[in-house]
Structure 1
Amino acid sequence: MDGIMHDSDLDGDMNPEANYVPEGDGAGVKLGGVPNARGIGGYPTADGHRIRNGLFFRSAGLNFLGKDGLTDLRRLGIKEVVDLRDPSEIGLWPYRLPDDITVENIALIKQDNSGFDPSAAFNATDGTEARRAVETMSMADMYHDIVARSGREIVGIIKKPLDASECPMLIHCTAGKDRTGITSGVLMSLLGVSDDMVVSCYARSGANLGEAFRKAVMNGLAQDEDGAGQVSAAQTAALASPPELMRGVLAQLREDYGGVEAYCLENGMSLEDIAGLRELFIQ
């Protein structure tokens, strides 16, 4: 489809760390300067089918939209945008879209979350702030908390494509890798994509973000040598997408809920919804 960026570098052993690139919009789409923009189309299911293109997209924050961004959104047919950021991030990096594209904010990090807050690392401007972010950092705990405490929100989001007025849709957070990656991973797993392929999709985010994104989130970096090093360490960790984090999410879904389907049913999805999503997405 128009806007897909193709990549023929395919790793034969399907190692999730090897950046498997699907033949579809999962390989990446052009979105006017927004990094980490892609769909889930082209990823294989465990039973030999493929995810259909053009229905569900994911990216970093739309505050990065450049002059061609709206044209690209329209080319992709986006009707609904779901912003997963918390209010502080929205205040720091705002954007506006035309009224015919619905924007809904569904924050996935609870205000009393005790794990790592990525916005604290992104926004650190001195050594003290960065040290605090690093000391409280537990990405694995944050991921576990999102899955455990934001299940209703995640399920509500992945049900949206069943409504034709909300599809095609795009979800994003700040980097498009943590909250966005978890939500996309739950949907892909529900559709029958193997753990290895879900992990592979997730693990591509770190490389996809690029230097421009890193510079943007490091804006205002303190110039003192110690402070700069601590800020850089916090922000580098916040931008990484190690495969073991998504492996942990998938293990949590099995161990705590009995699998992704049971997780979705527990959090407001019906069997009819699951069947409808599979009919819509799987070709």
Structure 2
Amino acid sequence: MRSKERKYALEGAFNFRDLGGLPTGDGRETVFGSVFRSDTLDHLTTRDVHVLVHEIGVRSVIDLRAPEERMRVKPQWAEESSIELEFVHLPLVDEVGQFDVKNPEELRTMLARRYMSYLELGGDNIVAVLELIARNVGRCATVIHCNAGKDRTGVVVAILLGLLGVVKDAIVADYVATDANMERILARMREKEPYRERVDSNPVELYQAKPHTMELFLEALDKKAGGIEGWARAHGLSEQGLQRLRTYLVSQ
């Protein structure tokens, strides 16, 4: 039986959770045990791997990080796993940027504008993620992650949940759930390059997950022709892929 817990207390990943249990506009909810979001999986312990691979049934890992962020094609734990796992690299940006923004109003809207830029820079890869999930549903569990599991993962997850008809308040709440995990994530980021210098030089607002950021992003996305679904279709999401997502990821 699949667990109906959204949060998992992993030792090497601080922002890992199930996308199940989120309400849709027609009174249903997203299913548990199929799609998960996370921060980096590079530091998983043996116990964590057992939870992901043997308890949850993860077989597909989608990495949204830029090439410079990846320690190796597969993390060490995956290379030692007795079960074959699929690792797919679909970066939304080619490099991790720094920001020099001081104006309070600009800071308030900066992340939402950054998220919209992901649609331009990584739109094809976002749709590729959706198609991979559509292929996997009913077959195995999928994890989507970047480094902190906040920005790039947050954008992809928001689009996925929007396509499933999840109500906006729940999409925002799922995004905001990351905020409580950021202190530990930032402490780990300060331990290595390429993050150490950037964490301390970027505005602190960059590392927060506040409601208005996702609200502004969803509002901007709604203004695009056709909203989330129109954007996804325009970037190549297939009818079959969309229907598989809605069939398998929303309770019937």
The answer to whether TM tops 0.5 is: yes
Count of aligned pairs between the two proteins: 236
SS in 1 for 2:62: strand
In the other structure, the counterpart of 1:79 is 59
1:93 and 1:205 mapped to 2: Cα distance?
26
2:94 and 2:245 mapped to 1: Cα distance?
27
1:220 and 1:193 mapped to 2: Cα distance?
37
Of all paired residues, the percent bearing the same amino acid is: 28
2:148 and 2:192 mapped to 1: Cα distance?
18
1:82 and 1:37 mapped to 2: Cα distance?
14
Instruction: State whether residues 161 and 167 of structure 1, in contact with CA within 8 Å, keep that contact through their aligned partners in structure 2.
Output: no
The alpha-carbon distance between structure 1 residues 257 and 31, as it changes in their structure 2 partners (threshold 3 A), is farther
In the other structure, the counterpart of 1:189 is 162
Deviations 1:74-115 (A, max 9, x none): 11100110111111111499723136111111110145xxxx
Q: Flag the structure with larger Rg.
A: 1
In the other structure, the counterpart of 2:112 is 140
Corresponding position: 1:277 with 2:245: yes
SS in 1 for 2:115: helix
In the other structure, the counterpart of 2:88 is 104
2:12 maps to amino acid: G
In the other structure, the counterpart of 1:161 is 133
Instruction: State whether residues 130 and 237 of structure 2, in contact with CA within 8 Å, keep that contact through their aligned partners in structure 1.
Output: no
In the other structure, the counterpart of 1:61 is 40
TM-score by length of 2: 0.83
Instruction: State whether residues 33 and 65 of structure 1, in contact with CA within 8 Å, keep that contact through their aligned partners in structure 2.
Output: yes
CA drift at 1:139: 2.2
CA drift at 1:64: 2.5
1:31 and 1:277 mapped to 2: Cα distance?
27
In the other structure, the counterpart of 1:244 is 212
Deviations 1:233-262 (A, max 9, x none): 737333211222211221222212321111
Unaligned 5+ segments in structure 1 are 5-23, 121-132, 222-227
CA drift at 1:185: 0.7
In the other structure, the counterpart of 2:17 is 38
Deviations 1:202-245 (A, max 9, x none): 01111133x43222112379xxxxxx9x9647373332112222
Unaligned 5+ segments in structure 2 are none
The alpha-carbon distance between structure 1 residues 253 and 167, as it changes in their structure 2 partners (threshold 3 A), is farther
